[in-house]
Structure 1
Amino acid sequence: MKKKVALVFGARSFERDISVITAMQTLNNIDKSRYDVEPIFAYEGDFYIGKLDSIKCFAPFAPLAHKKAFLIKGEFYTLKKNKLQKAFKPDVALFCCHGGEGENGILQALFEFNSVAVTCSDTLASACCMDKAMSKRLFESLLLNVLPYEVVSKDEFESDKDKTISRIEELIDYPLIVKPACQGSSIGIEVAKCREELDFALQVAAKFDKKIVVEHKLDDFVEVNCAAYSKDGQIVISDTEQPCRASGFLTFSDKYSGGKMSACEHIVPAKIGSLEHIVKANTKRLYEELGLSGVVRVDYLVDTKRNKVYVNEINTIPGSMAFYLFKGVGVSFQNLIGDIIEDAILRKSKAIKPSVFKSDVLKNFTGGSKLVK
């Protein structure tokens, strides 16, 4: 019997359109002889179901042309004549969301609450990795290299710009790179080489997030990515890649211009010599130590002057599922999808089921306003 897969994508995020592309790529490559797939589009706080199998459905998306779906006790329902009607009961949710509430743990928590297996990292790991400030602290706790950085709140910056900028200048040397803490795809990122540019960069980042990460920018470096996923209890590590950027950092246009994912060129494997071993070892360690699941991609900055590897960030649901990075290790896109689906179902079967501790506290409670100790 085919396993039922809810292909979940969209959600409130600046990267929603990128999520649609990943979902359609995944839908076209999943083994339909093994899986019965139902696309589920998260849009403005609601789920939609039915005939969502083409990019044309989303350019633009017309909610009234599709059925609204409701997730109740692990099953999707639709409304017919104001009555709930069963629509789809998934064995697993295959997440293709990028950024925002689709990758920061919010949707993961909803499906976990409904006892549906998910193909990505759980709520806690997703939230920690989405937050660049939190993830950097985790990298430091593992004694991994991170660039000098400071965290600035939007309120702090807007209440006293000069004081905030002076504090940053005292702690980190220019040039700087300024990022919204919880955005992806290079959205809201600016480079600052002086005080005026830093002011502007902080203003831009503050439009996208209430928390901002400011870090030192390397002059001579290459960006290197490496992906991983779990299969049969073993971690599969991908080839490394070296994206070719047009500017000082990989921009949104570098990644997605031209109407396709990863529009920029890639060098696979990355030309970093013996440092490739460090990148792969760090990727495996991060996957294990942070309790990650599904496909993740770890992004690194390699200082070519000092021959040093810095961990930059972790993408818990990478674009296109990072399938192209696994070709060199003998894993096709179809097999990758199947592997993470089966791993999610296996993890769910082994999970400790939440339960309520039974007691006589309420039975014996006599009322009153005193605190229960």
Structure 2
Amino acid sequence: MRTKVGVIFGGMSVEHEVSVISASQAMSAIDKDKYEVVPIYISKDRAWYTGEQLTNIEEYKDLKGLLSNVQKIQLQRDPNGKFLLQKDPQPKFGKKYVDEIDVAFPVMHGTYGEDGVLQGFLELLGIPYVGPDVLASAAGMDKSLMKSVVRDYNIPILDFISLYSSEWRVNQEEVTARIEKELGFPVIVKPANLGSSVGISKAADVNELEDAIDLATSFAAKIVIEKMVTNMKEVNCSVLGDYEHAEASICERVLGNDEFLSYEDKYQSSSSSKGAKGMEATNRIIPADISDEQTAEVQAIAVKAFQVLGCSGVSRIDFIIDLDDNEKVYINEINTIPGSLSFYLWEPTGKSFSDLTNDLIKLALKRERERENLTFSIDSNLFNTQSGGLKGSKN
């Protein structure tokens, strides 16, 4: 019997469409001899659906029509420990569920999918799932937290300041003065917890800074302002594995139309308009045109950051190389569920996209086996020991 893999995608993020593309690629790549793919789509209004039509990227051109022909569901765990896709609403008569799954495979980018929220839900249900756990997802998603963690492990990062939108509104002059003093111009302004370059812009002076912060805070309450490297190379490297063993892919150099790779560069370029190309369509040089020594340095930092953050599955770590400072390498950010699952960085190593998805599922099941040996609750009833009422610690 084949293992049933529930591929979860879509969601309430600005990266919704990117998730649909990545999931479509992943579902096509999964080995159908070993696994049965069960698509699970989350709409922008938080409704969950399943149905074979959801595997066809062309169907999303008429989303209303697509959703009218698939089954609305809720993901539940029954008393027997099975993970069911129950019909929503449940019928009074007949079968109450559509399907069941053995393992979840989140392919969701950004808010509510890559930040630990979905992972926490799956944890509560006890469903084995692909990718990083709650803590690693949250740490990887929050750019400020990620930078603080890796800095403590002597991983090189660019100087940055993080703040909340409320602080900017109340103390705009003080914040501006701090940025000028600690970072100087130009700077890059980013939402702290989004990916795909959404809401990111540069600021060369105080006037541009105000516009950049207004843009970033329209997407997130917490933002990051980072010293900008004007003469640079952007290099990415993928890592596959977990806390015990992790390996790095080859490196790529990404080519944007500006000083940084924008959302439009990644997903709205002419090359990506021909179909579900995702990050695969981004202009890039593979392998990156950097020295063997620098390649090894990037790969080593990537693996270290991946394991320091407690990641599992496949991630993509993005780097900046400062060409005006002896080609110093800085880690920029980590994507714990990267676009297209970074399969294009593994294929040149001899690992096909099908092999990659197989490895990811095996890592999920390995973690589940390890957790079965852990104690999460104690078989006792504290209330049976209470004799004088609910006194708590005072008693």
Other-structure match for 2:223: 212
Other-structure match for 1:81: 91
Alpha-carbon distance in 2 for matches of 1:360, 1:151: 45
> Which segment drifts farther, 355-364 or 195-204?
355-364
| TM-score normalised per structure 1 | 0.95
Alpha-carbon distance in 1 for matches of 2:12, 2:150: 28
Paired residues for 1:22-37 under 5 Å: 22-37=22-37
Alpha-carbon distance in 2 for matches of 1:6, 1:358: 32
2:150 is paired with a residue of what secondary structure?
helix
Distance 1:251 1:360, change over 3 A: closer
Other-structure match for 2:334: 314
AA aligned to 2:179 is: I
Residue of 54, 57, 60 corresponding to 2:59:
57
Alpha-carbon distance in 1 for matches of 2:115, 2:375: 22
Distance 1:65 1:135, change over 3 A: same
Residue of 150, 155, 162 corresponding to 1:151:
162
Paired residues for 1:123-272 under 5 Å: 123-230=134-241, 234-257=245-268, 258=270, 259=273, 260-262=277-279, 263-272=281-290
Distance 1:367 1:9, change over 3 A: farther
Deviations 1:19-41 (A, max 9, x none): 00011111112111111111000
Alpha-carbon distance in 1 for matches of 2:208, 2:243: 49
CA contact (8 A) 2:319 2:333 kept: yes
Deviations 1:18-77 (A, max 9, x none): 000011111112111111111000122231111311123323422443211111113221
Distance 1:193 1:232, change over 3 A: closer
CA contact (8 A) 2:242 2:307 kept: no
Residue of 231, 252, 276 corresponding to 2:295:
276
> Which segment drifts farther, 343-352 or 228-237?
228-237
Other-structure match for 1:347: 367
CA contact (8 A) 1:178 1:190 kept: yes
User: Is 2:348 the partner of 1:338?
Assistant: no
Residue of 302, 319, 329 corresponding to 1:300:
319
Paired residues for 1:13-28 under 5 Å: 13-28=13-28
Alpha-carbon distance in 2 for matches of 1:240, 1:37: 30
Gaps of 5+ in 1: none
User: Is 2:30 the partner of 1:9?
Assistant: no
Offset at residue 202 of structure 1 (A): 0.6
Other-structure match for 1:357: 378
2:122 is paired with a residue of what secondary structure?
helix
CA contact (8 A) 1:231 1:339 kept: no
CA contact (8 A) 1:297 1:314 kept: yes
Alpha-carbon distance in 1 for matches of 2:355, 2:25: 14
Other-structure match for 1:71: 75
> Which segment drifts farther, 83-92 or 162-171?
83-92
Distance 1:101 1:363, change over 3 A: same
Deviations 1:88-134 (A, max 9, x none): 22121112111110100111111121111111100110011000000
Distance 1:13 1:354, change over 3 A: farther
AA aligned to 1:293 is: S
Alpha-carbon distance in 2 for matches of 1:312, 1:87: 43
Distance 1:48 1:165, change over 3 A: same
Deviations 1:157-185 (A, max 9, x none): 11232222122212111100000000111
Alpha-carbon distance in 2 for matches of 1:336, 1:120: 12
Distance 1:156 1:340, change over 3 A: same
Offset at residue 358 of structure 1 (A): 3.2
Alpha-carbon distance in 1 for matches of 2:182, 2:154: 20
